[in-house]
Structures are given as structure tokens and as C-alpha cells.
Structure 1
């Protein structure tokens, strides 16, 4: 999402939620964040699972160097042990090979995801081994620029919402979704703001 979209979203959310309005005056809008749509972003999602951002970036760069050309066909050619040697776990080796094969066989058409509704695209992505709802929702927000996605399984989102609403403990994902129903239409922007708000000092 670009700055204009975020600005419109924050203005709308400020009218819908007084807590957002107050925090927005203090912090201003969240920064734009995006990732290119396509195979490399799916690949980096697998690489980054359960790793720090720094470690994931190192392993991803090693993988890119190993591949040379970052394509599904090239990944299929690489021996499993070589993928393990750059830092992927055996499970992630399985996941990236399954991803590449899904694209090659056209059981996953990444380009067609943009033609699907939010829920249809999420379900399509979740058919991939290693991709849960959170991974799919993150792809929709940052790569497909969908404006009404709320990744309620994200810990930062839940803690940010608890902080925003003055709760003593974080809500469950189900509770969080109910709490932001009135943000409908701009829940992706609201999610960006919650991430920003959570990381601000008290």
C-alpha cells in the first residue's frame, strides 16, 4: 500500500474508532510496506518461518546465490543437501520443493491470485504445504495490496490491539477479529498501524 492509500485508511479509521484517532494524532501514519508478488516472495516466506529477520535474510541471500536464477525450474534442479547446506531445515527443503513443483505443474497460478477474492486467494495459498492462514494473509497485504485483511494470528497484532484498547492481556484471534469488525474496508491499514503502535515505547 502506498502513502495515499494509508492516509485515506487512517482518516477513515479515525472516524470509526476513537482509540485509533487518539493514537494517530500521537504517532502519525504507518510507513508503506510492500513486497513484490511472485515466486521469490513465496520462497522467502518459507525461509523466514520461525527465524529472526536477520537470520532469514542471510539464508535467503545464500539461497539466491546458490540458485543464480530464482525460478521454480532452477530450484527443482538443486540437490536437497545443497539446500540444506545453505541453512534450510529438511522440512523447509520439502516445502520449497513442493512450492516450485506446484508452480511448474500449474496447481498454483501465482498471477491468477490477483483475480480472486480475498478469501479465495487465501484458500488457494493455504493449499500449499507450509503456508497457513497467516502466511497467506501477509502475502495479500504486502504483495497484492489488499486493503481489508486482518491477520489475527499475528502476535504483534494481538499485543498492539491490547495496548491500543488498554486491555490487561492480549485478546484471542477470534476476539480480535470481533473487536475490529467496525474497521471493515480498512483492516489492512489498521493492521499496519497496530504493528507500529505495538513497537512504540510506552
Structure 2
């Protein structure tokens, strides 16, 4: 799979430079679907470093194991908020945990759905927008052809790499459509390029 992805992605000469600098793609998927979704909510609209810090404090609330939905609903929303989350995110996490406890959300249903179907179902839930659903597709389900157009860091990286000033969504998609069916891997390389190389 990785070799097939490189054949396609290396046709993009600008992306090829990032691939050569970064090396092998190592996307870390999260085997626990609940954790994958909660991590996506925690990291909404904040920097990578802030997200990692808050995620660690969240885990530390519960000891060594990642909490279950049952663990979370035993806390108050203020206790969840205390580790640096906004009030709204604390509510989202609590409410989603309650849905699981009440058997109103079953992650197994997503396994056989298309990407669009997963996004459609997840965005029915309060606190989950398209970006969060896309992060779940990438890091929870390991889907290979996701391009999160609403990711600011990703779009800024695209602007730098391709010399774009104020690109339209159409212009961005014209570039990334050439990466199909491995847009997730292309996205990962752009993220890495922004973080480690600044495309210099």
C-alpha cells in the first residue's frame, strides 16, 4: 500500500520534496474508537502542542488506562473542564460518553460505512463537525483517502508549498485530487512539512 501511495504522490514534484525530507509515512492510528473520537474533540481549533498537553492531563485524571465512557460520566462537567478544556468541549465529551453508556452510539456501525456516510452520521452529534469526523476517519478508522479541507495548518502548508496566496477551495482540491486514493498520506506529509521543515 505505502509503495503504491508513493508512486502516485511522488508525481507531485513539490510534495515529492517533502516526502524525501520526512521519510516513511508513519500515521499513528488509535485502536480504541472512543479514544480516537475524544482526542479529535480535545484537539479542535488548538495547536498541536496544546492538544497534546491537554490530552495528557485528561488521561491523568483517570490513571494509567484511557478512560471509558462509564469512567467519564462519573465526573462532573466542571471536573472534565478543569484540565484545560473549554466548557463546550467538556460538555461534548460528557454528552458523547452518556450516549455510549445509554447505547445510543455504537462505533461498530462505522466500520462498513463509506467516508461520507461516517461524516454524515457523526456530524449529527453535538460537538462533532466535519473536521472532527475527518480526524476520526484518519486516526480512528485508518481511512486512506481523507483530505480535511477545514484544517488551517494543512491549508497554510499547502499555501507555502505551492506558492498560493489566497487559494479557493477549488484550487486546493485540484491539487489534492491528483493524490487520490491516498489523500490521507499526502495530508500527513503536509502536516509534517509544516511542523518540521517549514518548506525551506
Q: TM tier, shorter chain? A: 0.7 to 0.9
- Which runs of 4 or more aligned residues in structure 1 lie more than 4 Å from their structure 2 counterparts after TM superposition? none
CA distance in 2, matches of 1:38, 1:76: 17
Q: Which residue is 2:78 aligned to?
A: 81
**Cα displacement string for residues 110-148 of structure 1 (whole angstroms, at most 9, x for unaligned residues):** 122121111111112212211111111122112211111
Aligned with 2:41 (options 42, 46, 55): 46
* Conservation of the 8 A alpha-carbon contact between 2:18 and 2:193: no
The SS at the match of 2:111 is helix
State TM-score, norm by structure 1: 0.82
CA distance in 1, matches of 2:163, 2:49: 31
Seen in structure 2, the aligned counterparts of structure 1 residues 29 and 62 have a Cα distance that, compared at 3 Å, is: closer
Seen in structure 2, the aligned counterparts of structure 1 residues 75 and 155 have a Cα distance that, compared at 3 Å, is: same
| 1:118-129 paired onto structure 2 within 5 Å | 118-129=115-126
- CA root-mean-square deviation: 2.4
Determine whether 1:176 maps to 2:176: no
* Conservation of the 8 A alpha-carbon contact between 2:145 and 2:182: yes
Q: Which residue is 1:14 aligned to?
A: 10
The SS at the match of 2:61 is helix
Determine whether 1:109 maps to 2:106: yes
| 1:25-44 paired onto structure 2 within 5 Å | 26-27=20-21, 29-36=23-30, 37-44=32-39
State TM-score, norm by structure 2: 0.83
In structure 2, the gaps of 5 or more residues are none
Seen in structure 2, the aligned counterparts of structure 1 residues 139 and 73 have a Cα distance that, compared at 3 Å, is: same
In structure 1, the gaps of 5 or more residues are none
* Conservation of the 8 A alpha-carbon contact between 2:41 and 2:127: yes
Q: How many residues align?
A: 195
The SS at the match of 1:27 is helix
Q: Which residue is 1:158 aligned to?
A: 155
* Conservation of the 8 A alpha-carbon contact between 1:6 and 1:32: no
